[in-house]
């Protein structure tokens, strides 16, 4: 089993060997840990994250004077357990983040392929929309849309997808434009394949890599946007636990020195975004060592 | 050069047009816009009057036409909360946002450019590695969290800086830092990669072959060329800053257009929100145009008309 | 002043990878001499180490490359012991270099005048005005018309041939004694090439320059050079006077290069090319580096690298086929 090469992982059952040298293990572990926390949130905490005991308000973390072991990370202004809210907040962030990125990615990739391959007026229309939407910063656009439709988790996912698909379309279109000229695509055209077959079989697999890299890099931006929206009150509606909301609540206690309400949720956001960014950077180098502009 | 400017101008106008179309579309598409455009708590009669006024019974393109006409004239309606024309309100707050953005941009360039150059020139050294970490943190930490932490540290614990409002130079320090932090990291990254590219170019090689001192090679030949993409980005980012400052302005209660947007949401003052996004987007498009023209002017290849 | 202008003895330049695991022998055991006013041609395929050799002479190697052994003497001085500051004074002033692509060699943001006068201002501390005057004269001497106007222009406003002349003007601006030209005509149109070569010859005569001409084009070597050194896989496999090498090449590689030039007179003859590819400098074959492609390879060639034999007057070849001759 030990073959002297420390970085290979061989599992006892028949799976291919994974050479893990150079993989960003810590960010991947963080991401997996958060995913697990999100899935098993109910089992990880005894407290209801949405209801608190008003007699227990503003308790500091357990290791500070005035804290107790009942609430390891303290309580907020409604007496709700911070740790529980953090745990359930992971679920919200992960769900919103992943779903928004997936929707945006799918829509953006499809439109990018159509735009790049079909050209003509399809391309023009999609590109003009993309360009003008890209002129707006994601946050402002999202706030505008959220102000129209009102806060709810499903609305947020749709809004984020709407705001961020344009980035995928741009990048994918660029790739498709160069792929179009490759020999195997031209051969397929000569061989009489229909446009749809070509797009599906030849173009799509080759742009998937870039789309995935972009998706990981975008995950961080999406999560921060969602947190920002929640912070401003147009994101996830209370009393659902979301890290952004916790920060907004935390602001109320800031001047009084209740630091734990700000530091912990923010750290979670930063950790998740940092991990996503590191993985995205690594993927980008892995898929294209020449570090194309993404 | 003239042809270039005209082309870019046309493009900008098209973008503005599409922007207005997008806004119009979204406001109308979600059903009944009167729920947004009328004050909370208005009576049925008021709503019907508004419906008449907006011409919601008329065909869509007519509505759009009057919408566009209003926008071009600068008529964005009146704020429900402040009861003044929105445009006036916006323009009165804009200088504050500009001030904050300039302060933040200065901070980000002062930190970003030299560290980017140092990282490129001493590749792999201590500075390069520190720079990479800084860049990573800067791009990952949400701006408003940085702001909150700053308040916690400098206002609550140390009591050195005021936590909100504006008026003295002290007030601007923390918001500028929080806003500029992310951009400092972005500028550092771009400066570094741009500098690396330039340092590997043939004309830098020739400059060394001429026997020029290394300092001159870097300061004269490499620097100016490397800065071009960075300054282009900085120009665009300045306007971007004004727009994304919404969070930082809210955290620090800085009276700029970002805070205005927040008030618009909080008080359900939709004309304010709508105007904010139209004007913000228009500013970005215009600045993009200006930066393109400026870039062309700096680069003699385009200025002297290829 | 006795002795050659430039003398290399057993010079070797290696690239070492970051972790010290891969060693690329870009230049190995190179010995050359060049007299003042003479022209030496260095011929080889891409990857043979020609450019690394040139950069080694100027000690302007990229990071990871080091001169690991040998001697390097210029005008009687040992260049390997010079400090970076001293080398800087030599570059551009006493030894100059022309690169291949003139568009890339000139900084697009600065005027021609600025770039031509720059070495004069740095090396001779001349004032801006006098340096620009000299720049104008230099442009005239490289046969650029209307130098007063050109001096204020930018690189992109000139044609390729003119830009390469500007690069030439920069090179001779401080009256160097040695000019190294690295494939200067490769990116020029064929019609311009001849003019440029003539210009170089004239400049050489007027200024008493020694010239090292790096090229893969044997035709240019025949026209321009007094002596030639043929490089393969970082080593000089044959060197000597041009006439001798062309008439009686002693190394199979040289012979193959000469034979691969299509001759206009033999219309029906087949085109010959050398089989195979140049070796990867990081993984050279054992023995003589050319043996996998050599039609006359002996068993010995596969095992032992041949030393240089003296096969004629100042004519050496590193090949076991010349074994009977005395060692060079």
Q: Quote the CA–CA distance of B293 and B273 in Å, as a whole number.
A: 31
pLDDT of residue A41: 77
pLDDT of residue A3: 41
Chains A–B, number of C-beta pairs less than 8 Å apart: 128
B 224-243 residues with CB below 8 A of C? 224-225
Find all residues with CB under 8 Å of C328, minimum gap 6, and list them.
C307, C308, C309, C310, C316
Across the interface, whether the CB atoms of B211 and C88 are under 8 A apart is answered yes
Q: Which chains are adjacent to chain C, needing at least 3 Cβ pairs under 8 Å?
A: B
Residue C56's pLDDT band (boundaries 50, 70, 90)?
very high
Across the interface, whether the CB atoms of B301 and C89 are under 8 A apart is answered no
Mean pLDDT on C272-296: 80
Residue C126 has pLDDT above 70, yes or no: yes
Q: Which residues pair with C210 in a beta bridge?
A: C178
Tokens representing C124 are 């001779």
Residue A30's pLDDT band (boundaries 50, 70, 90)?
confident
Residue B57's pLDDT band (boundaries 50, 70, 90)?
low
Residues of B in contact with C166 (CB under 8 A): none
A37-72 pLDDT, tens digit per residue, is: 888 877 777 777 777 777 777 777 777 777 777 777
Of A276-290, C131-145, C284-298, C313-327, the least confident: A276-290
Mean pLDDT on B103-108: 92
Q: Quote the CA–CA distance of B184 and B136 in Å, as a whole number.
A: 11
Is the peptide bond prior to A239 cis by the omega test (within 30 degrees of 0)?
A: yes
Quick one: three-class SS letters along chain A? Answer: CCCCCCCEECCCCCCCCEECCCCCHHHHHHHHHHHHHHHCHHHHCCCCCCCCCHHHCCCCCCCCCCCCCCCCCCECCCCCEHHHHHHHHHHHHHHHHHHHHHHHHHHHHHHHHHHHHHCHHHHHHHHHHHHHHHHCCHHHHHHHHHHHHCCCHHHHHHHHHHHHHHHHHHHHHHHHHHHCCCHHHHHHHHCCCCHHHHHHHHHHHHHHHHHHHHHHHHHHHHHHHHHHHHHHCCCCCCCCCCHHHHHHHHHHCCCCCCCHHHHHHHHHHHHHHHHHHHHHHHHHHHHCCCCCCC
pLDDT of residue A11: 45
pLDDT of residue C178: 93
Across the interface, whether the CB atoms of B300 and C119 are under 8 A apart is answered no
Residue C245 has pLDDT above 50, yes or no: yes
Residue B196 has pLDDT above 70, yes or no: yes
Tokens representing A172 are 């994918």
Which of B17, B31, B38, B144 should we substitute to test contact with A (largest number of A Cβ atoms within 10 Å)? B144
Residue B303's pLDDT band (boundaries 50, 70, 90)?
low
Q: Quote the CA–CA distance of C197 and A86 in Å, as a whole number.
A: 75
Mean pLDDT on C162-187: 89
Residues of B in contact with C93 (CB under 8 A): 211
Mean pLDDT on C115-119: 90
Residue C223 has pLDDT above 80, yes or no: yes
Residue B30 has pLDDT above 70, yes or no: no
pLDDT of residue C313: 82
Instruction: Provide the 3-class DSSP secondary structure of residue C74.
Output: strand
Residue C130 has pLDDT above 70, yes or no: yes
**Mean pLDDT over the full length of chain C:** 86
Q: What is the largest CA-CA distance in chain A?
A: 77
Residues of A in contact with B142 (CB under 8 A): 224, 227-228, 266, 269-270, 273
Domain C6-94+176-322 CATH (choose: 3.40.630.30, 2.40.50.100, 3.30.479.10, 3.40.50.300): 3.40.50.300
Residue B216's pLDDT band (boundaries 50, 70, 90)?
confident
pLDDT of residue A242: 87
Torsion angle, CA of C139/C144/C145/C150, rounded to 10 degrees?
A: -60
Residue C213's pLDDT band (boundaries 50, 70, 90)?
very high
User: pTM value?
Assistant: 0.75
A196-229 pLDDT, tens digit per residue, is: 887 787 788 888 888 888 888 888 889 999 998 9
pLDDT of residue A289: 54
| B203 Cβ under 8 Å from any chain C Cβ | yes
Among A111-115, A175-179, B62-66, the range with the most confident prediction by mean pLDDT is A111-115
Residue A18 has pLDDT above 70, yes or no: no
pLDDT of residue A13: 52
Q: What is the ipTM of this complex?
A: 0.80
Mean pLDDT on C175-186: 89
| Residues listed for chain A | 294
Q: Quick one: angle between helices B2-29 and B60-73, nearest 10?
A: 120
pLDDT of residue C268: 63
Smallest Cα distance from B211 to chain A, Å = 31
Residue A239's pLDDT band (boundaries 50, 70, 90)?
confident
C302-316 pLDDT, tens digit per residue, is: 888 888 888 888 888
Mean pLDDT on A11-31: 68
pLDDT of residue A17: 54
Q: Which chains are adjacent to chain B, needing at least 3 Cβ pairs under 8 Å?
A: A, C
pLDDT of residue B306: 42
Residue A182 has pLDDT above 60, yes or no: yes
Mean pLDDT on B55-66: 72
Across the interface, whether the CB atoms of B140 and A232 are under 8 A apart is answered no
Tokens representing A91 are 């679920």
Smallest Cα distance from C8 to chain B, Å = 20
Question: What percent of chain B has pLDDT above 70?
Answer: 90
Residues of B in contact with A231 (CB under 8 A): 144, 247, 250
Q: Quote the CA–CA distance of B118 and B188 in Å, as a whole number.
A: 10
Mean pLDDT on C289-294: 84
Assess whether chains C and A touch, using the rule of 3 or more C-beta pairs within 8 angstroms. Answer: no
Residue A293 has pLDDT above 50, yes or no: no
pLDDT of residue B3: 79
Residue A6's pLDDT band (boundaries 50, 70, 90)?
very low
Mean pLDDT on A74-86: 81
Residue A78's pLDDT band (boundaries 50, 70, 90)?
confident
B130-162 pLDDT, tens digit per residue, is: 888 888 888 888 888 888 888 888 887 777 777
Across the interface, whether the CB atoms of A266 and B149 are under 8 A apart is answered yes
pLDDT of residue B201: 86
pLDDT of residue A10: 46
CB C158 within 8 A of CB C167: no
Tokens representing C275 are 């089989």
Residue C281 has pLDDT above 80, yes or no: no
Question: What percent of chain A has pLDDT above 90?
Answer: 5
Among A252-256, B215-219, C175-179, C214-218, the range with the most confident prediction by mean pLDDT is C175-179
C209: exposed, middle or buried (Cβ count in 10 Å: 0-12, 13-18, 19+): buried
Residues of B in contact with C167 (CB under 8 A): 206
Residue B105 has pLDDT above 90, yes or no: yes
**Mean pLDDT over the full length of chain B:** 82
Domain ranges of chain C: 6-94+176-322
Residue A101 has pLDDT above 90, yes or no: yes
Is the pLDDT higher at B43 or at A271? A271
Of B151-160, C163-172, C242-251, the least confident: B151-160
C17-33 pLDDT, tens digit per residue, is: 777 777 888 898 899 99
Mean pLDDT on A271-286: 86
pLDDT of residue B211: 85
Mean pLDDT on C39-62: 88
Question: What percent of chain B has pLDDT above 90?
Answer: 4
């Amino acid at each position: 089993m030990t073959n002297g090469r420390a970085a290979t992982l061989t599992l006892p059952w028949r799976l291919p060997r994974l050479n893990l040298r150079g993989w960003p293990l810590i960010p991947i572990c963080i991401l997996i840990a958060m995913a697990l926390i999100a899935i098993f949130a109910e089992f990880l905490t005894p407290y209801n994250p949405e209801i608190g005991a008003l007699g227990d308000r503003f308790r500091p973390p357990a290791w500070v004077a005035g804290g107790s072991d009942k609430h390891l990370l303290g309580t907020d202004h409604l007496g709700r357990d911070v740790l529980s809210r953090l745990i359930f907040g992971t679920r919200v962030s992960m769900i919103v983040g992943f779903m928004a990125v997936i929707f945006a990615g799918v829509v953006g990739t499809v439109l990018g392929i159509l735009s790049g391959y079909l050209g003509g007026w399809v391309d023009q229309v999609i590109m003009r929309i993309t360009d003008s939407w890209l002129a707006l910063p994601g946050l402002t656009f999202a706030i505008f849309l959220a102000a129209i439709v009102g806060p709810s988790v499903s609305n947020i996912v749709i809004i984020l997808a709407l705001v961020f698909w344009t980035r995928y379309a741009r990048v994918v279109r660029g790739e498709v434009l160069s792929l179009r000229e490759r020999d195997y695509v031209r051969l397929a055209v000569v061989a009489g394949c229909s446009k749809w077959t070509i797009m599906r079989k030849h173009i799509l697999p080759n742009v998937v890599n870039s789309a995935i890299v972009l998706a990981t890099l975008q995950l961080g931006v999406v999560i921060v946007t969602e947190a920002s929206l929640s912070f401003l009150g147009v994101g996830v509606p209370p009393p659902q636990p979301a890290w952004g909301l916790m920060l907004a609540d935390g602001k109320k206690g800031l001047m009084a020195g209740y630091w734990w309400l700000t530091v912990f949720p923010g750290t979670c956001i930063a950790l998740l975004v940092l991990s996503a960014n590191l993985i995205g950077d690594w993927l980008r180098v892995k898929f294209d060592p020449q570090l194309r502009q993404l | 050069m003239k042809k270039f400017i005209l082309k870019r101008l046309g493009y900008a106008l098209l973008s503005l047009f599409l922007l207005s179309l997008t806004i119009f579309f979204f406001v109308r598409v979600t059903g009944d816009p009167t729920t947004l455009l009328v004050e909370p708590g208005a009576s049925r009669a008021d709503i019907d009057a508004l419906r008449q006024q907006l011409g919601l019974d008329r065909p869509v393109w007519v509505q759009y036409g009057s919408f566009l006409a209003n926008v071009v004239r600068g008529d964005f309606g009146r704020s429900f909360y402040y009861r003044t024309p929105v445009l006036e309100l916006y323009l009165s707050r804009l200088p504050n946002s500009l001030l904050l953005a300039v302060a933040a941009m200065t901070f980000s360039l002062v930190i970003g450019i030299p560290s980017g150059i140092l990282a490129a020139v001493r590749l792999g050294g201590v500075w390069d590695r520190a720079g990479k970490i800084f860049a990573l943190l800067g791009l990952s930490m949400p701006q408003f969290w940085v702001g909150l932490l700053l308040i916690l540290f400098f206002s609550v614990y140390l009591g050195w800086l005021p936590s909100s409002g504006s008026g003295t130079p002290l007030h601007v320090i923390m918001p500028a830092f929080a806003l500029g932090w992310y951009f400092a990291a972005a500028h550092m990254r771009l400066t570094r990669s741009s500098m690396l590219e330039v340092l590997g170019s043939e004309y830098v090689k020739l400059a060394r072959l001429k026997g020029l001192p290394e300092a001159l090679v870097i300061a004269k030949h490499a620097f100016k060329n490397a800065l071009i993409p960075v300054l282009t980005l900085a120009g665009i980012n300045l306007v971007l800053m004004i727009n994304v400052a919404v969070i930082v302005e809210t955290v620090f209660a800085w009276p700029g257009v970002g805070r205005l947007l927040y008030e618009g949401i909080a008080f359900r003052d939709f004309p304010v929100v709508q105007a904010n996004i139209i004007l913000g987007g228009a500013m970005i498009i215009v600045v993009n145009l200006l930066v393109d023209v400026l870039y062309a002017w700096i680069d003699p290849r385009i200025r002297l008309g290829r | 002043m006795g002795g050659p202008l430039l003398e290399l003895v057993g010079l070797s330049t290696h690239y070492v990878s970051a972790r010290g695991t891969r060693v690329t022998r870009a230049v190995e055991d190179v010995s050359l001499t060049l007299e003042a006013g003479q022209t030496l041609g260095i011929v080889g395929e891409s990857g043979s180490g020609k450019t690394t050799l040139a950069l080694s002479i100027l000690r302007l190697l990229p990071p990871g490359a080091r001169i690991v052994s040998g001697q390097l003497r210029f005008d009687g001085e040992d260049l390997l012991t010079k400090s970076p500051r001293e080398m800087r004074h030599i570059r551009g002033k006493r030894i100059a270099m022309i690169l291949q692509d003139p568009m890339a060699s000139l900084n697009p943001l600065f005027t021609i005048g600025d770039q031509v006068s720059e070495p004069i201002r740095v090396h001779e501390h001349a004032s801006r005005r006098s340096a620009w005057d000299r720049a104008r004269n230099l442009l005239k001497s490289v046969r650029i018309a209307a130098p007063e106007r050109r001096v204020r222009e930018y690189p992109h406003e000139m044609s390729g041939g003119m830009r390469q002349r500007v690069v030439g003007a920069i090179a001779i601006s401080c009256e160097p004694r040695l000019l190294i030209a690295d494939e200067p005509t490769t990116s020029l149109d064929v019609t311009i090439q001849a003019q440029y070569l003539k210009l170089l010859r004239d400049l050489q005569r007027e200024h008493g320059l020694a010239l090292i001409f790096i090229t893969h084009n044997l035709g240019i070597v025949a026209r321009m050079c007094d002596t030639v050194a043929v490089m393969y896989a970082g080593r000089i496999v044959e060197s000597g006077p041009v006439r001798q090498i062309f008439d009686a090449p002693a190394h199979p590689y040289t012979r193959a290069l000469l034979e691969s030039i299509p001759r206009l007179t033999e219309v029906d003859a087949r085109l010959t090319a050398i089989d195979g590819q140049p070796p990867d400098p990081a993984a050279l074959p054992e023995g003589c580096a050319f043996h996998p492609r050599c039609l006359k390879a002996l068993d010995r060639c596969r095992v032992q690298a041949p030393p240089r034999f003296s096969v004629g007057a100042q004519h050496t070849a590193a090949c076991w086929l010349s074994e009977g001759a005395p060692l060079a």
